[in-house]
Amino acid sequence: MRRYDKNGPLAMGFNLIFLVFILAPLVVVCLVAFTDKGYLSLPRDGLSLRWFVAILDHPEFIDAFWYSIYLAIGSATLAVMLAVPAAIATARYRFPGRGLVMAFFMSPLMVPHVVLGVAFLSYLSRLGWAGTYLGLVACHIILIMPYALRLVLASVTGMDRSAEAAARSLGATRWVTFRRVTVPLILPGVTGGWVLAFITSFDELTMTIFIASPSSTTLPVRMYQHITETIDPLIASVSAVIIFITMVMMIILDRIFGLDKLLVGK
């Protein structure tokens, strides 16, 4: 290790304690998931996969997992499709109300999710859309739009426009230029925005719990309902699976984009 590290022993100790604090709850979830006991306990007499096998006997978790995946794919895709033209408008045109429109699209970040949940529940039930897939997608689009837009906007603003000008001067139509030049250039930002939107939608609990019905329950909602009744090794093994999937995605994201850049949105 090169001596770039300027921290003294005290700082290193602090860093260690901080990391333990951050990782301890996640490690404990994974350990308890491997218990061989029938109750909550650390695996002391040996590791066992019995609680992972037990997930297969609980189709309600598996159904909720797939519902969450479909919901996140649907809403992230639509949010990005709305974000790309909005980002192009904001990055390339000066028009009255430009700042206001941007602030409007970012405003869901300022509204507590429980307030969105309250508002969406009364609205959807009045429309008769409560608990439907389309209703949930529409609500999730609002929630994840700021995350998608921020990354898409950064890539549109940062892109070099001379390639577009070259394509146009060589006789490409507007549409061909957009599809063959603009889209490939902004694709990394669009992908990053989609992934962040997908994860946000997949993880969301507080707003979704208001609008989900028994037939449209997402995985976080199902887990919340389970935890409020009982905390058992089963819920730990479901959580361990989520942690594992998220970690794999995270390492891929970090390799492609850099996790700090993705989360700051620059």
Partner 1 sequence: MKTWLPPYLLNGPALLIFVVMLVVPMVMTLILSFNSFDFYGGIQEDYGWHNYLEVVKDSYFHEIFARTYGIAIAVTLICIIIGAPEAYILSRMSKTWRSLCLLAILGPLLISVIVRTLGWALLIGNNGVINEVLLGVGIIETPLKMMFTTGGIVVALVHVLVPFMVLSVWTTLQKLDPQVESAALSLGASHFTTLRRVVLPQVMPGVLAGSLIVFALTASAFATPSILGGRRLKVVATTAYDEYLNTLNWPLGAAIAVILLIANVVVVMSYNRYVERKYAAVFD
Element (H, E) at 263: helix 259-264
Q: Please state the closest distance from residue 236 (CB atom) to partner 1, in A.
A: 7
Q: What are phi and psi of 7, to 5 degrees?
A: -85, 140
Q: Please state the closest distance from residue 196 (CB atom) to partner 1, in A.
A: 9
For 82, the token pair is 């709305």
What single DSSP character describes residue 40?
A: S
Q: Please state the closest distance from residue 181 (CB atom) to partner 1, in A.
A: 18
Q: Please state the closest distance from residue 167 (CB atom) to partner 1, in A.
A: 19
Residue (32 or 167) nearer to partner 1, CB: 32
Q: Please state the closest distance from residue 104 (CB atom) to partner 1, in A.
A: 6
Tell me how far CA of residue 144 lies from CA of 21, 203, 239, in angstroms: 29, 11, 23
Neighbour count for residue 23 (Cβ, 10 Å):
10
Map 170-189 to HEC letters. Answer: CCCCHHHHHHHHHHHHHHHH
Residue (66 or 104) nearer to partner 1, CB: 104
Asked if residue 197 lies in contact with residue 147, where contact means CB atoms within 8 angstroms, the answer is yes
Residue (90 or 155) nearer to partner 1, CB: 90
- 168: exposed, middle or buried (C-beta count within 10 Å: 0-12, 13-18, 19+)? middle
Asked if residue 136 lies in contact with residue 71, where contact means CB atoms within 8 angstroms, the answer is yes
Residue (28 or 183) nearer to partner 1, CB: 28
Residue (16 or 166) nearer to partner 1, CB: 16
